[in-house]
Amino acid sequence: LWRRPRSWLLLLSFGLMNGGYASTVAWLAPFYQGHGWSATQSGSLLAILSVAQAVSALLMPALARRNPDRRRWLLLALLLQTLGFAGLAWWPDAWPISNAIVLGLGLGGSFALFMLVALDHLPQPTQAGALNALMQGGGFILAALAPLVMAQLHQLSGSWLASWLYQAGVALLVTLLVLRFAPQ
């Protein structure tokens, strides 16, 4: 698996995409507390995001099962992520609940669909499972760096704008990478 470029593409895409989740879990509540929200209010917003993630993680793979080409669904999930991060960057106070729902739908759908895409790449279940393990193991190491990058951007700029736009840009980058996930 280490010698296959597709393994590295999956690992990179999965890690970058999950960096959005790690960053959101780390910084969404403190972000809104900086906007005057209480710990309870900001925690409730994070709970709303988590419910949207769970719904999407169950729903999107079920909808995508009819077609072996999962790219359309992944592109939708990544578009939702991009919109959610852009909403946090530019309109955080206008639609906080809507931003959390849209972002949660994108994050949850992306995660679950990436699991399917990795399993779709190899015909033998043991090989597909090994690829999935490699993708997750390396991907989560990469994802762990995203909250740190966001913190550095926040510290350098004095604002969360650059941090949330960074995550929107990463979602767009993963969108370009996903285009290469043709089933054949």
Distances (CA, A) of 93 to 89, 100, 173: 10, 12, 26
* 3 residue type, one letter: R
Per-residue confidence band for 3, with pLDDT thresholds at 50, 70 and 90: confident
Gap between the Cα atoms of 144 and 15, Å rounded? 8
- Spatial distance between the Cα atoms of 100 and 47, rounded to a whole number of angstroms: 9
Angle at 62 between CA 60 and CA 64, to 5 degrees: 65
**Dihedral over alpha carbons 55, 56, 59, 64 (to 10 degrees):** -170
In angstroms, rounded to a whole number, what is the distance separating the alpha carbons of residues 15 and 53?
17
What predicted TM-score, i.e. pTM, was given to this entire model?
A: 0.92
Q: Is the pLDDT of residue 176 over 90?
A: yes
When pLDDT is cut at 50, 70 and 90, the band that residue 5 belongs to is confident
For residue 96 the two structure tokens come to: 């906080």
- pLDDT at residue 118 in the model: 77
Q: Is 16 exposed, middle or buried (0-12, 13-18, 19+ CB in 10 A)?
A: buried
- The answer to whether 52 and 104 have CB atoms below 8 angstroms apart is yes
Residue (of 164, 173, 7) closest to 75 by Cα position: 173
**Spatial separation of the C-alpha atoms in residues 30 and 154, rounded to whole Å:** 12
**127-166 pLDDT tens trace:** 778 888 888 888 999 999 999 999 999 999 999 999 999 9
